[in-house]
Amino acid sequence: MSDFIMVLDEGTTSTRAMLFDSAGKLHHVAQRELEQHYPRPGWVEHDASEIWDKTLACVRDVTEQAGGADRISCIGITNQRETVVAWDKTTGEPLCKAIVWQDRRTEPSCQELRQAGHEGDVQARTGLLLDPYFSGTKMRWMLENEPAVRAAAEMGTLAFGTIESWLIFKLSGGAHISDASNASRTLLLELGGALFDPALCELFGVPHAALPEVVDNAGEVAVASAEWLGREIPITGLAGDQQSATIGQACLSPGETKSTYGTGAFVLTNKGGEIPRSTNRLLGTVLYQINDQRTYALEGSVFVAGSLIQWLRDSLGIVEVASQTEELARSIPDSGGVTIVPALSGLGAPHWQAEARGVINGLSFSTGKAELARAALEAMAHQTHDLAMAFAADGTPWETLRIDGGMSANNWMAQDLADMLDLTVERPEFVETTALGTAMLAAAGAGIYADLNEAATALRGNLQSFTPAMDSDVREGRLAAWKKALIAA
């Protein structure tokens, strides 16, 4: 058996190739930054060709580090989910810029559908709300506004897909597939349905023929062509990034919950085989599908988490590196009355206010860098608390919260989450659980382990716990200030 499982981790700001062994140890990494394009306020785009070129470069880098393709047993792919690529099936080239999950340009289309009374039926069928976040309205916008996309649709050569679908097409030389977890984020898949739904496609104006085949999250779903690495390598694991992180945290039993703090923040609770139904504006989604059997999750999505710290660094110069926020937060006893609502690209769950904008409340002459940095970190706990209340109202209270993602390495923030949520927070030693979850899927799909549970047991590492230690009056005071600031967003 070959030594390594290769995971392609296609994020919002970078693409990586990572090599894990069968015990979950990370051996080699290659990473390239991705350019973000902001042609207008609220618009966010990627160049799909850049994504492919840089991903391939990373793949070749780690293959060389490993000592050759013979040492790689299988490939798994995890990705930013709702980002849409349109390409031509015959040329294999993108037809326009990819529209990123953060993009808000399709709010008028969503509003039109809401006003026509479609949201209730769409939510009941897909588990999703009518929001620009999801893929369906992005596809419709491309068809209506990009002549090359419209022409390809008329000729029958148009392919739509999320990022894993695009990468598989390129790696395999033409396979057009999407795994069930990513497909469930498009507004075009009924949660209980095996394939993209023709009626939903008609509602959103998306040609069914342009969509990929929906496949399992584990198993040999495609094969990477020998032209890239010198030999064929099976692709055996796929998952959207947040589903993958849930698997990487071994949340494989109903009720187990994780929250990932990356560019945004995403909480998922395993619901087993029960299709989630929310009355509190949370989302139902496919967690994974194996052997055509689905496991579902209830999800709350926050649009701005780590990107707030990036904004403080790059736009305001509050810190030089993100890790300085912990030192600044610890240097003062509180935020000095400052509260930040990080609605830089609208508010996600449970508010779903696309037009909301960021607010910094409580500024005074005594406000400095430390207060702003601490308030930014506090906003992570405030947003997560809003989600905790919505999950509890939906009958899914959290017993513990498993956290991961780049921001979770901040010990001050991890403790603040425990304090504000008043529950134990657990963090694994290896916080990049998005990639680890896909390694688990790929290992199970390649037969390295008998099933996903066995793979998760073998690959998951040790945990560190944070227990609540905040007085209730301090917690209530912060929540009151947060609610006041939300009104102004």
The fraction of the chain above a pLDDT of 70, given in percent, is 100
Mean pLDDT of 271-293: 93
What would the pLDDT profile of 78-119 be if each residue is shown by its tens digit? 999 999 999 999 999 999 999 999 899 999 999 999 999 999
pLDDT at 480: 96
pLDDT at 217: 97
Beta bridge partners of 28: 19
Residue 458 has pLDDT above 60, yes or no: yes
Answer whether residue 369 is part of any domain.
Answer: no
Answer whether residue 205 is part of any domain.
Answer: yes
Answer whether residue 330 is part of any domain.
Answer: no
Give the contacts of 123 (CB within 8 A, at least 6 positions apart). 129, 278
CA dist., res. 395 & res. 195, Å (int): 29
Q: What is the CATH number of the domain that holds 160?
A: 3.30.420.40
- Going by the DSSP 8-state scheme, the letter that residue 84 receives in this structure is B
- Going by the DSSP 8-state scheme, the letter that residue 446 receives in this structure is T
pLDDT at 348: 86
Q: How far is CA 328 from CA 72, 119, 335, 370, in A?
A: 43, 44, 10, 5
Mean pLDDT of 419-436: 93
CA dist., res. 486 & res. 489, Å (int): 5
Answer whether residue 165 is part of any domain.
Answer: yes
Mean pLDDT of 366-388: 96
Residue 2 has pLDDT above 80, yes or no: no
Residue 1 has pLDDT above 60, yes or no: no
Point out the least confidently predicted range of 121-125, 248-252, 271-275, 349-353: 349-353
Mean pLDDT of 25-34: 94
- Going by the DSSP 8-state scheme, the letter that residue 337 receives in this structure is T
Q: How many CA atoms lie less than 13 Å away from 455 in the CB half-sphere?
A: 27
CA dist., res. 299 & res. 271, Å (int): 10
Name the pairing type of β-strands 218-224 and 233-240.
antiparallel
Give the contacts of 370 (CB within 8 A, at least 6 positions apart). 328, 329, 331, 332
Helix, strand, coil percent values for the chain (each to nearest 5): 40, 25, 35
Residue ranges of the alpha helices (H) in 394-451?
Answer: 411-421, 433-445
Which residue type occupies 326?
Answer: E
What would the pLDDT profile of 219-234 be if each residue is shown by its tens digit? 999 999 999 999 999 9
Mean pLDDT of 391-400: 93
CA dist., res. 275 & res. 286, Å (int): 9
Q: How far is CA 481 from CA 340, 343, 373, 476, in A?
A: 10, 16, 17, 9
Answer whether residue 477 is part of any domain.
Answer: no
pLDDT at 391: 95
Give residue 206's region: left, alpha or beta (phi > 0; psi -120 to 50): beta
Confidence of residue 122 (pLDDT cuts 50, 70, 90): very high
pLDDT at 463: 87
Domain boundaries, position 213: 4-241
pLDDT at 462: 83
Answer whether residue 293 is part of any domain.
Answer: no
Tokens of 107: 């709010």
Mean pLDDT of 392-406: 93
What would the pLDDT profile of 348-360 be if each residue is shown by its tens digit? 889 988 789 999 9
Confidence of residue 262 (pLDDT cuts 50, 70, 90): confident
> Which string of b and e fits 203-216 if b means at least 16 CB within 10 Å?
bbebbeebbbebbb
Estimate the crossing angle of helix 119-126 against helix 107-115, to 10 degrees: 110
> Which string of b and e fits 454-471 if b means at least 16 CB within 10 Å?
ebbeebbeeeeebebebe
pLDDT at 413: 97
pLDDT at 168: 98
CA dist., res. 386 & res. 301, Å (int): 11
Write out the E strands in 241-376.
Answer: 257-261, 265-272, 283-290, 293-302, 339-341, 359-361
Answer whether residue 170 is part of any domain.
Answer: yes
What would the pLDDT profile of 148-160 be if each residue is shown by its tens digit? 999 999 999 999 9
Q: Domain count of the chain?
A: 1
In 10 A of CB 111, how many CB atoms? 14
Residue 205 has pLDDT above 60, yes or no: yes
Mean pLDDT of the chain: 94
Answer whether residue 448 is part of any domain.
Answer: no
